Structure 1
Amino acid sequence: MKKWIYRPIVEGLASRQAHADLPAGSVERELGKEGFFGPATHMIHPRPPTGWTRWEGPLRPRAFDLNKLGATGPSPWDAHAVLHNAHVRLRHWVCPRSMDELARNADGDELLFLHAGSAELYCDYGHLSLVAGDYLVLPRGTMWRIECAQPSTWLLIEATNSSYQLPDKGLVGEHAIFDPALFDYPRIDEDFKAQQQGASAARDWQVRIKRSNQLSTVTYPYNPLDALGWHGTLMPVRINVRDIRPLMSHRYHLPPSAHTTFVANRFVVCTFAPRPFETDPGALKVPFFHNNDDYDEVLFYHAGDFFSRDNIRPGMLTLHPCGFTHGPHPKALQNMLVQNKPATDEYAVMIDTRDALDTGEIATAIEWTGYHQSWTGG
């Protein structure tokens, strides 16, 4: 059991409520432990704490335009490695056509996010249709392949040596954010039975298995996706970002942790979906400035207008590593208390990791190197 050192203090000029009713002409900065889940202090400053003029050294906010990564091959193991540590691997995959072999990840559960296009999933458990905005959780060891008439674009998030689970929703109950009854799962339908028959079933099938980041190939003289039925509690599940109903407070800007969708060992996955802006006159209508204490923060921008960012478009990814303060860009900060529209219209996937992330070589080649200057208008 953790027992934090705890003694609430008010020193100098402060607001009576975090993220609301700030002293005139001031901004707020949150310093917190355990990524919004632990003890926190809210500093009041006369100017944004992102007003740096120079940045030197390897630690810096980074942005990558994944749109510049072209198609690789029709296998998830051909995907570009973007970010990774011992507990999570992020890969970007533009699949040019249907897979002609099966994949199996023996290193951990896989979370696939379909950014663009559509696809048909065939796996041990059956068949499932996928569209843009779908999250697909594939339990470790699942054999699978996709068919797609057109190229499709995916963000692959591996929970290395771990499993995906649901967050504890606490006081708001198990049906908040999304009802687990919304999870779709593969079915042994006519499409699944059809792929067990005909010429494709009679040929050799290869299964490429990843273990310890090394690939092995197993060949079958038949299609191994030949299940007749199944029962149990372990299965792939799918939910679309459009089915997510974010928690809201009209008087208080909720932290990103309120939007947690999946949890794994030493990282979480959150979803930002459209929601009304706060209506209380004194409540912040933009994310508050905060330190990245304890966690690296990654955001993949899927669709819409990213109201707290400037010069960011769908298909880009940002990394805010632990160790510096960040928050809304200057244009967004102008709307700190008054927004010009009633609601946000963004969809984004956030991954917060407890351990530092390393950058893949291909990501460096498509980096927006001046991103750290975007808070100063550079």
Structure 2
Amino acid sequence: MGSEHISFPRRQGQASRQAHADLPDGTFERELGKEGFFGPATMMYHTHPPTGWTSWSGPLRPRAFDLNRIDDHSSSVWDASVILHNSSVIMRRWSLSGKMDYLARNGDGDELLFIHRGSGDLFCDYGHLPVSQGDYVVLPRSTMWRIEATSPIDMLLFECTNGSYRMPEKGMVGRHAVYDAGVLQSPEINEAFLAQQGNDEWHVKIRRSGEISTVVYPFNPLDAVGWQGDLAPVKLNVKDIRPLMSHRYHLPPSAHTTWVGNRFVICTFVPRPFETDPGALKVPFFHNNDDYDEVLFYHDGDFFSRDNIEAGMVTWHPCGFTHGPHPKALQRMFEQPKTMTDEYAVMLDTRDGLKMGEAAASVEVAEYADSWKASGGPLTPPSIPKDAAE
């Protein structure tokens, strides 16, 4: 039998007619939602910030990790530091200088590389692909690949365990929105690819069910001279993403979905204009995302909704508690000093709870849960500009 969520819109007390805009005077808004931002939802209006806690205890607390403190130059990508993981996705960090002298092959799922810093050349079954800062590279399951770094590379890897990466549905905004498939690049059978072929011995390190097997070839198995079809690695740079925007409404993170995995999504935040409607929120709204864990990697720029966060850090908000902007950002919820955001960030939202890897635990910023505390006492809601209330 088919079924649908219980849904019966109601209104009680003081409430806005439009979510994330024209809040009742003296209130903070909190969204309670199901299925990320796609299911039934209610906007609650409070007289205190929903993150106005005084202390935290227990494992559910919000966490932050400074990945810059991880010294991970392991020779094998399969020894890369595990940050967070569950049965559907593994998030790892790896640094590479020089050349991989072996080929990697993931038999457990598609691999997504995100190049945080550095540049180089990726060689795989399909050919040669230059990579540089801000690139996503999707490697279909069992693709053989290696990288030659021309400048030291720091990257994140997201394994889509037992699944495939797909592009998000774009619905009413059309297939060319967010990023046009025409900007995706695939490897080429070019001079650089042909030049690396030869009869030297090569080892292929294959990961399957978490275990590594090694196959030895008396030649370079990246010896293709051509291919045709619709399965291949693709590259997308964050600067080729054109974000959805609304000048009258703060769009939820789901509007910035870049890749869809198996029970998780990866979103990208790139510079965009702030909302110009005086009554519209201009910071992320307080919300309970009670069906998803939310992870944010800060890649570059000025992270306007968070205090004391730098490029190369990660925040993890497990599902089940309210979160939202920090106190300084909250004071700018209706008026911003700039006309645009200036940030690049990668977001991982998982339908199933994540577990913390040892590497993340070693670089946790222990005081992060206290970062919502306002100095000088409880915050009062900023006033909506007069021209918005009239």
Query: What TM-score do the two structures reach when normalised by structure 1?
Result: 0.98
1:211 maps to 208
2:192 maps to 191
1:155 maps to 156
TM superposition shift of 1:2 = 4.2
* Local SS of the residue matching 2:150: coil
1:351 maps to 348
Kindly provide the CA deviation profile for residues 112-135 of structure 1, in whole angstroms up to 9, marking residues without a partner as x: 000000010000000010110000
TM superposition shift of 1:78 = 2.2
* Local SS of the residue matching 1:319: strand
Is the counterpart of residue 266 in structure 1 residue 279 in structure 2?
no
Q: Aligned ranges for residues 126-141 of structure 1 at < 5 Å? A: 126-141=127-142
Which amino acid is 1:205 matched to? W
TM superposition shift of 1:249 = 0.2
CA distance in 2, matches of 1:112, 1:149: 17
What is the aligned-residue RMSD (CA, Å)?
0.9
1:361 maps to 358
2:379 maps to none
Query: In 2 relative to 1, CA 65–377 (structure 1 residues): closer, same or farther, beyond 3 Å?
Result: farther
CA distance in 2, matches of 1:72, 1:2: 50
Kindly provide the CA deviation profile for residues 132-151 of structure 1, in whole angstroms up to 9, marking residues without a partner as x: 00000000000000001332
Is the counterpart of residue 227 in structure 1 residue 227 in structure 2?
no
1:301 maps to 298
Which amino acid is 2:312 matched to? G
Which amino acid is 2:105 matched to? R
Kindly provide the CA deviation profile for residues 33-56 of structure 1, in whole angstroms up to 9, marking residues without a partner as x: 011011100000011100111111
* Local SS of the residue matching 2:235: strand
CA distance in 2, matches of 1:171, 1:7: 25
Kindly provide the CA deviation profile for residues 186-235 of structure 1, in whole angstroms up to 9, marking residues without a partner as x: 00000001001xxxx22210000000110000000000000010000000
| Structure 1 residues not aligned, in runs of 5+ | none
Q: Aligned ranges for residues 24-43 of structure 1 at < 5 Å? A: 24-43=25-44
Match of 1:237 among 221, 234, 237: 234
CA distance in 2, matches of 1:377, 1:211: 48
Match of 1:252 among 227, 249, 254: 249
| Structure 2 residues not aligned, in runs of 5+ | 376-390
1:144 maps to 145
CA distance in 2, matches of 1:91, 1:354: 18
Q: Aligned ranges for residues 87-166 of structure 1 at < 5 Å? A: 87-166=88-167
CA distance in 2, matches of 1:351, 1:300: 8
Q: Aligned ranges for residues 277-292 of structure 1 at < 5 Å? A: 277-292=274-289
Which amino acid is 1:294 matched to? D
Is the counterpart of residue 330 in structure 1 residue 331 in structure 2?
no
Q: Aligned ranges for residues 311-326 of structure 1 at < 5 Å? A: 311-326=308-323
8 Å contact 1:74–1:98 — kept in the other structure?
no
Q: Aligned ranges for residues 70-81 of structure 1 at < 5 Å? A: 70-81=71-82
CA distance in 2, matches of 1:295, 1:20: 24
TM superposition shift of 1:75 = 2.7
TM superposition shift of 1:23 = 1.0
TM superposition shift of 1:95 = 1.1
8 Å contact 1:73–1:96 — kept in the other structure?
no
Query: In 2 relative to 1, CA 84–54 (structure 1 residues): closer, same or farther, beyond 3 Å?
Result: same
1:376 maps to 373
8 Å contact 1:292–1:320 — kept in the other structure?
no
Percent identity of equivalent pairs: 66
8 Å contact 2:278–2:334 — kept in the other structure?
yes
Which amino acid is 1:10 matched to? R
* Local SS of the residue matching 2:95: strand
* Local SS of the residue matching 2:151: coil
Kindly provide the CA deviation profile for residues 19-72 of structure 1, in whole angstroms up to 9, marking residues without a partner as x: 000011211000000110111000000111001111111110000000001132
Query: What TM-score do the two structures reach when normalised by structure 2?
Result: 0.95
* Local SS of the residue matching 1:332: helix
CA distance in 2, matches of 1:81, 1:266: 19
* Local SS of the residue matching 1:151: strand
Query: In 2 relative to 1, CA 270–82 (structure 1 residues): closer, same or farther, beyond 3 Å?
Result: same
* Local SS of the residue matching 2:307: coil
CA distance in 2, matches of 1:181, 1:74: 35
2:384 maps to none
CA distance in 1, matches of 2:349, 2:70: 23
Kindly provide the CA deviation profile for residues 323-359 of structure 1, in whole angstroms up to 9, marking residues without a partner as x: 1000000000000000000000100000000000000
Which amino acid is 2:354 matched to? L
Which amino acid is 2:169 matched to? D
Post-superposition, which runs of at least 4 consecutive aligned residues in structure 1 deviate over 6 A?
none
CA distance in 2, matches of 1:56, 1:80: 27
Which amino acid is 1:204 matched to? E
TM superposition shift of 1:9 = 0.4
